[in-house]
Amino acid sequence: MPEPLSVDLRLRELPRAEMHDALEALVVTRFKRVLLMDDDEELALDSSYFDLGLTSLRLAELRKGLEALLGVEIDATVLFNKPTIDELVGHLGAKLSDHVRKA
């Protein structure tokens, strides 16, 4: 597993479109791992977490893992206000971009 700070820095250095794609790939990989899916299985990015089969407990574990990996805090309410992978990736991308602008 890559060192969190290095993942965070690499993502922040990418142009916005590339950052989105890399962030999406990272988030999808994490979700597939928690959902016990194979890498080649399709994961619906526009389905709610609960429709995908996640429980609140699993979602909390995913949140903590993503926070550690990306070096950003993810408010628990975001997961309920942005209940799809696609929306979460958009939120995380904006949050990482904000950190770049502030640096």
Q: Which 3-state string (H, E, C) describes 80-102?
A: HHCCEHHHHHHHHHHHHHHHHHH
Question: Residue 82 in contact with residue 88, Cβ under 8 Å?
Answer: yes
**Rounded average pLDDT per 10-residue block, the chain, 103 residues:** 52 79 92 92 93 91 91 87 90 78 50
Domain ranges, ordered by start, for the chain:
4-102
What is the tens place of the pLDDT at every residue in 14-31? 777 788 899 999 999 999
pLDDT at residue 1 in the model: 38
Name the CATH superfamily for 4-102. ACP-like (1.10.1200.10)
CA atoms within 13 Å, Cβ hemisphere of 10: 12
SS3 53: coil
pLDDT at residue 3 in the model: 43
**77 secondary structure, DSSP code:** H
